[in-house]
Structure 1
Amino acid sequence: MLTIGCHLSAAKGFLAMGKQAIQIGANTFQFFTRNPRGGKAKAIDPQDVSEFLLLAEQNGISSILAHAPYTLNACSADPKVRDFAMRVMADDLERMEHVPGSCYNFHPGSHTGQGVDTAIDQIVEQLNQILKPEQTTTVLLEAMSGKGTEVGKTFEELRRILDRVSLSEKMGVCLDTCHIHAAGYDIVDRLDEVLEEFDRVVGLKHLRAIHLNDSMNPLGSHKDRHEKIGQGSLGLKAFERIINHPSLCRLPFYLETPNELEGYAEEIRLLRELYHPGE
């Protein structure tokens, strides 16, 4: 079965997101842990979580993905910004233990002129301080498009971070189709080769989630502009190949396309029709 969902608003809690997912034909979803442009998080309601977990079990909802706010930058030149990232991520991971076995995705950050080497040192230092042996949440590094001074634009940069995290079993990677296309990885015409390169450099065993987005910009643009499925430079055929690829088809897919719920429901319906692994 295709595990697919979209980005939902967490404003009304886990139960509301679960009901919305079911409503649009999804069996997973992604959400921001707090305001994507801010730092304050809504208090966890234990009853809401309990009711959601029951709903999820009854309706086959699995592999939910929390997304860190965009304001996190673990490798900023400003120590106050790095401290904010540390405190927010630590709090997020503690809160995620209310929904055991989930994933938590974050952007590695932008080095703001310090250089990639210093940035990786700072990201690794933060992860090594925050990750705990007892946590059930897997933390995912998101592959980036390479705009500005972003870290994580190449598979090699992701691997350099993973290699130095002490609790490496708590880590994974999320590939975003728009991002890696913009970063120069040709997943339209050379999907097999790109995945072989990822496996050689990072290891497919570390790949835990896919952000499924078309791109407004061409290959190698280094611009992060998402488009609706089939309406951008990747095209519908590329997504059919991606969701059915033997190395990817059992992973959870999360839509971050410019849509409201009705549009997400249509994309989910379309992608389910295109899903035929093993044929």
Structure 2
Amino acid sequence: MLKIGSHVSSSDKGLLTAAKEANEYGSSSFMIYTGAPQNTRRKPIEAMYPEEGKLAMKANGVEEIVVHAPYIINLASYKDNTYQLAVDFLQEEIRRTHAFDVKNIVLHPGAYTDKDPEYGIQRIADGLNEVLSGTNETEVHIALETMAGKGTEIGRSFEEIASIIDKVVHNERLTVCLDTCHIHDAGYDIVSDLDGVLQQFDQIVGLNRLGVIHINDSKNPSGARKDRHTPIGSGFIGFDTINKVVHHEALSGLPFILETPWIGKDAKTQRPMYEVEIALLRGNVSERFGPEFLQEVEELHSFFAKLEIDSRQYVLDIWNLLKNDAKAKKADPREPLERLYDHVTTAGLFPALSEEGINQRLIAWLAGKQILVNA
């Protein structure tokens, strides 16, 4: 069974609540934080309902989930107090992850700030050596995440990831989290040469090191080093490439996790597109949403064809417009999805549908006509 899901917003409330939320999206995997990702405040593990959560996961057919370490951990820091906080807290996160029976905890390697990449790589390796030597939960692996290359973050190339691994004594406890948006933004051409990129990863790091795949589209062209996620199909990577990633034989059996942003005109009512994204990638849209959903997506194809709007070209044109035209960006800094939503509502299509419902159908339209056949 394809292991696919999203990070869940309710994970700081406990594993049981997270499992229920993930099930609403049709997830067969999901990613949680053991507390808020922006700080180190943590509830006692028993207050996270680990046993009840595991039972709910089993009932929902979820075999494997992933934990993400908080963003504030920076093993590359030259500041002793920041570095030691990262070591101590990561050790505690490993223990908490073990209590959930989770085998991969995703970690942003770190940023070297005022030093240099060589310093950062060595500092991260030293930190990992200290972390791993101070924990006995050998079933838990630290999954180093590939990064987009913004600022001074380490992990922007396969070589940097490999260099860290090579310097860690117990590197059998290290895996890698491959993020599609990050490697795209770092300059790896997964759109035109996915097989070539995976072969390159295999030669430098080893496909056997992969533990987790983050599947996100990107608001920026390849090599931008920006790390700005967008819903599947509404960015420069596109649905077809993400679909190839999810179903690539070299990645079979790995958990695929969505981190796509919630969308909607009002920040207070924004909703995630996880349910439709998962269904599209799994190929069970009709089963999940019903035949009427597909009929309405077909209506969108006819509607936008009359407007001479091609989905892929429209997405790329809008992002390029916002990037290159300061006046356009200032006047209407909205994603392609919101502009498409305006076309639909202005024309009076689907008056009975909510904003979320229209956006779900737009995500399906962006995936192309093939989904009408395969869904």
* Smaller-chain TM-score bracket: over 0.9
Q: Deviations over 1:54-98 (max 9, x none)?
A: 222232212211111111111112221111111210110111121
> Structure 1 residues 66, 91: closer, same or farther in 2, change over 3 A?
same
> Structure 1 residues 223, 12: closer, same or farther in 2, change over 3 A?
same
Runs of 4+ in 1 over 6 A off after TM superposition: none
Alignment equivalent of 1:272, drawn from 279, 282, 305: 282
What does residue 62 of structure 2 align with?
61
Structure 2: stretches of 5+ with no match in the other structure? 263-269, 285-370
Matched-pair contact (CA < 8 Å) for 1:28–1:62: yes
Q: More deviation in 42-51 or 80-89?
A: 42-51
Q: More deviation in 20-29 or 131-140?
A: 131-140
Larger RCO, structures 1/2 (Cα 8 Å, 6+ apart): 1
| Partners of 1:191 and 1:271 in 2: CA distance | 17
What does residue 194 of structure 2 align with?
191
Q: Deviations over 1:195-251 (max 9, x none)?
A: 000000000000111100000000000001000000000011111211121112321
| Partners of 1:123 and 1:137 in 2: CA distance | 18
What does residue 263 of structure 1 align with?
273
> Structure 1 residues 165, 261: closer, same or farther in 2, change over 3 A?
farther
What does residue 110 of structure 1 align with?
111
| Partners of 1:35 and 1:262 in 2: CA distance | 19
Greater strand share, 1 or 2? 1
Superposed displacement of residue 129, structure 1: 1.2
Matched-pair contact (CA < 8 Å) for 2:13–2:48: no
| SS in structure 1 of the partner of residue 164 of structure 2 | helix
| Partners of 2:137 and 2:42 in 1: CA distance | 23
What does residue 36 of structure 1 align with?
37
Matched-pair contact (CA < 8 Å) for 1:63–1:103: no
Greater helix share, 1 or 2? 2
Superposed displacement of residue 11, structure 1: 2.4
| SS in structure 2 of the partner of residue 51 of structure 1 | helix
What does residue 311 of structure 2 align with?
none
| Partners of 2:222 and 2:180 in 1: CA distance | 11
| SS in structure 2 of the partner of residue 144 of structure 1 | coil
What does residue 246 of structure 1 align with?
249
What does residue 236 of structure 2 align with?
233
Superposed displacement of residue 261, structure 1: 6.0
| SS in structure 2 of the partner of residue 173 of structure 1 | strand
Whichever residue aligns with residue 186 of structure 2, its letter is A
| Partners of 1:95 and 1:250 in 2: CA distance | 24
| SS in structure 2 of the partner of residue 165 of structure 1 | coil
Matched-pair contact (CA < 8 Å) for 1:242–1:249: no
Superposed displacement of residue 53, structure 1: 1.5
Whichever residue aligns with residue 5 of structure 2, its letter is G
> Structure 1 residues 162, 32: closer, same or farther in 2, change over 3 A?
same
What does residue 12 of structure 2 align with?
11
Instruction: Spell out the pairing of 1:47-58 with structure 2 (5 A cutoff).
Output: 48-58=49-59
Matching of residue 152 in structure 1 with residue 170 in structure 2: no
| Partners of 1:192 and 1:45 in 2: CA distance | 44
> Structure 1 residues 261, 6: closer, same or farther in 2, change over 3 A?
farther
| SS in structure 2 of the partner of residue 217 of structure 1 | coil
Identity %: 41
Q: Deviations over 1:151-172 (max 9, x none)?
A: 0100001001111211111110
Matched-pair contact (CA < 8 Å) for 1:34–1:68: no
Aligned alpha-carbon RMSD (Å): 1.7
| Partners of 1:218 and 1:83 in 2: CA distance | 37
| Partners of 2:2 and 2:159 in 1: CA distance | 29
How many aligned residue pairs are there? 275
What does residue 77 of structure 1 align with?
78
What does residue 164 of structure 1 align with?
167
Matched-pair contact (CA < 8 Å) for 2:16–2:48: no
Matched-pair contact (CA < 8 Å) for 2:12–2:36: no
